[in-house]
């Protein structure tokens, strides 16, 4: 009985990690790719966790109010200010921004679409260099499916989407036979990571998360390549 009580006394308190629903990545049922990666990371550092999944605005409010110890996935493209303002983990995955065009077109790279209309999804993240490039006309829609339909029907000349979300949407689309893309040639590569509070506890937490990531990479469970954007999680 004494040993049992001693063990309970020294048990680590769970940290609350915030996340927001993302198709295929963060799911309420716990089966998303990032749900699984999150569990693996914290298992590596022997840290119990509770995952709170809510809309992004609410998660950020809870983070600012100290109700969650960290949140993910985040991108630099969505954070205002300077990078030095934030405490973040090492990258957990890379988001590839992929160009999608019609097979019948002569558009194969982003430079081919100068003065043409590109379809994007409102609320999604893209390279700031692309967003601020005056050579492109950007048309924002509510989802990938709308952009795919517009592209297939010659309403726009290209679509900028993410891997794997947009690729999965195209594979399920009735227009998939009309659209071309190359996931090995992204037009931009974005880092995805955890954000921790800018204090000593937050710095320690993000450092520990990074340790967990390094262990996963050393074991071959997680593979990341910052140059190509290649990311793979073995489950």
User: pLDDT digits over 173-198, tens only?
Assistant: 999 999 999 999 999 999 999 999 99
Tell me how far apart the alpha carbons of residues 138 and 159 are, in angstroms, rounded to a whole number.
9
**Which pLDDT does position 11 carry in this prediction?**
67
**Which pLDDT does position 2 carry in this prediction?**
35
**Which pLDDT does position 188 carry in this prediction?**
95
CA dist list (Å): 224 to 90, 129, 228: 11, 23, 9
Task: Show the tokens assigned to 4.
Answer: 């049992």
pLDDT at 172 over 80: yes
SS3 state of residue 148:
helix
Tell me how far apart the alpha carbons of residues 60 and 189 are, in angstroms, rounded to a whole number.
24
Give me the percent of the chain exceeding a pLDDT of 70.
Answer: 95
Task: Please report, for the chain, how many H helices and E strands are present, in that order.
Answer: 7, 12
Give ranges for CATH 3.40.190.10 in the chain. 2-92+192-233, 94-188
pTM: 0.83
Cα angle 48, 28, 209; round to 5: 35
Domain 94-188: state its class. alpha beta
- Domain over 2-92+192-233 is classified CATH 3.40.630.30: no
Tell me how far apart the alpha carbons of residues 161 and 186 are, in angstroms, rounded to a whole number.
10
Tell me how far apart the alpha carbons of residues 30 and 28 are, in angstroms, rounded to a whole number.
5
**Which pLDDT does position 3 carry in this prediction?**
36
**Which pLDDT does position 235 carry in this prediction?**
84
Tell me how far apart the alpha carbons of residues 162 and 116 are, in angstroms, rounded to a whole number.
20
Q: What is the mean pLDDT of the chain?
A: 93
**Which pLDDT does position 54 carry in this prediction?**
97
Tell me how far apart the alpha carbons of residues 6 and 4 are, in angstroms, rounded to a whole number.
5
Task: Show the tokens assigned to 13.
Answer: 């308190």
Mean pLDDT of 80-93: 95
């Amino acid at each position: 009985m004494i040993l049992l009580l001693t063990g309970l006394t020294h048990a680590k308190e769970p940290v609350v990690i915030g996340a927001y629903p993302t198709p295929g990545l963060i799911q309420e049922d716990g089966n998303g790719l990032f749900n699984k990666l999150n569990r693996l990371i914290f298992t590596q550092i022997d840290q119990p966790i509770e995952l709170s999944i809510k809309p992004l605005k609410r998660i950020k409010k809870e983070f600012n109010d100290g109700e969650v110890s960290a949140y993910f996935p985040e991108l630099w493209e969505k954070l205002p200010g300077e990078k030095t303002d934030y405490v973040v983990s090492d990258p957990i995955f890379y988001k590839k921004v992929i160009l999608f065009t019609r097979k019948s077109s002569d558009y194969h790279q982003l430079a081919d679409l100068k003065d043409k209309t590109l379809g994007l999804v409102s609320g999604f993240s893209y390279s700031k260099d692309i967003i601020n490039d005056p050579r492109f006309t950007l048309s924002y829609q509510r989802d990938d499916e709308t952009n795919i339909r517009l592209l297939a029907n010659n309403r726009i000349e290209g679509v900028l989407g993410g891997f794997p979300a947009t690729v999965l949407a195209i594979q399920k689309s009735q227009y998939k036979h009309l659209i071309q893309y190359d996931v090995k040639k992204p037009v931009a590569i974005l880092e995805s990571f955890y954000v921790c509070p800018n204090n000593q506890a937050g710095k320690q937490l993000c450092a520990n998360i990074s340790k967990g990531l390094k262990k996963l990479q050393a074991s071959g469970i997680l593979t990341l390549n910052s140059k190509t954007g290649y990311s793979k999680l073995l489950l």
